[in-house]
Amino acid sequence: MGIVVTGATGHLGRHVVGQLLEKVPADRITAVVRNADRAADLAGRGVRIAVADYNAPETFDGVFAAGDKVLLISGSEVDQDRVAQHRVVIDAARAAGVALLAYTSAPGTLTASLADAHRGTEEVLLGSGLPYTLLRNCWYHEVYTENLAPVLEHRAVVAAAGEGRVSSASRADYAAAAVAVLTGEGHENKTYELAGDRAWSFAEYAAELSRQTGEEIAYRKVTQEELTAILTGAGLPEPVAAVYAGADASIAKGELVVDSGDLSRLTGRPTTPLSEAITAALKG
């Protein structure tokens, strides 16, 4: 039985493969990538590399084998037809007879357009007849901490989230949950709502940044329309900017507060606090 990870050289995929290497032999792991050169380090550790593209169904021929456990990491290009892309992987997995397909989805509470592709993919997966696990990941700390330069430059956290809170966790936390499912038993046909142990507000985020930097960082509230304009001015296509601003609107409605406890239960440890992610980002 092998374990196959798609999007293996992406931010989340690298965490997953790295943690898998701590638990299973490298020759049981297949990293599915679009560019083999980016996976040279994984190949050097004995991981099998398969070059395939969500947009090219024929490239998935022979990638999966009967009995494999597969992690389908959702595509990150929000301007693409991600349901069609994911269907390519699901169809190939079904044809091969894999034992389990786990999918990194979005919180079930999320109504923003960002969730549409995830809900569509869930429908395709459930309709496929494959044994599945839905890993409904809440936000990543790194969505915020990896983009601190403009925040520090302008001394302001800008968001259209109002007083909303976010139950985020680190990519390493979500990767640990995926690894627990891929290496464990009894996860077939289950849905996990994965999130950090403690939700935070943007005012608290700004306050923590202020504490750690010694600078006064303010929380600047803007409207959804204003944020769309700001993101467009920063170079994002307008439809993409609108998707991200819509996600902030969902935060304002309380849709990103998830208190299931599933993430810490799956990993067997508390989730990483936002303050630790901020510390790591400032050092990096």
* Domain assignment of residue 25, yes or no: yes
pTM above 0.85, yes or no: yes
Tokens, residue 164: 């909303």
125 is a domain residue: yes
How do beta strands 29-33 and 48-51 pair?
Answer: parallel
* Structural domain count of the chain: 1
Domain contains 70: yes
Two tokens, residue 226: 């204003």
What is the pLDDT, as a whole number, of residue 284?
78
Task: Identify whether 102 is part of a domain.
Answer: yes
Residue 96, domain CATH: 3.40.50.720
pLDDT at 147: 86
- Indicate if the pLDDT at residue 79 is higher than 70: no
Query: How many residues are listed for the chain in this entry?
Result: 284
In a domain, 229, yes or no: no
In a domain, 50, yes or no: yes
* Lowest-pLDDT choice from 55-69, 77-91, 244-258: 77-91
Is residue 119 domain-resident? yes
Domain housing 30:
3-138+171-193+259-268
Mean pLDDT across the chain, nearest whole number? 96
Burial tier of 275 (Cβ tally within 10 Å: 0-12, 13-18, 19+): middle
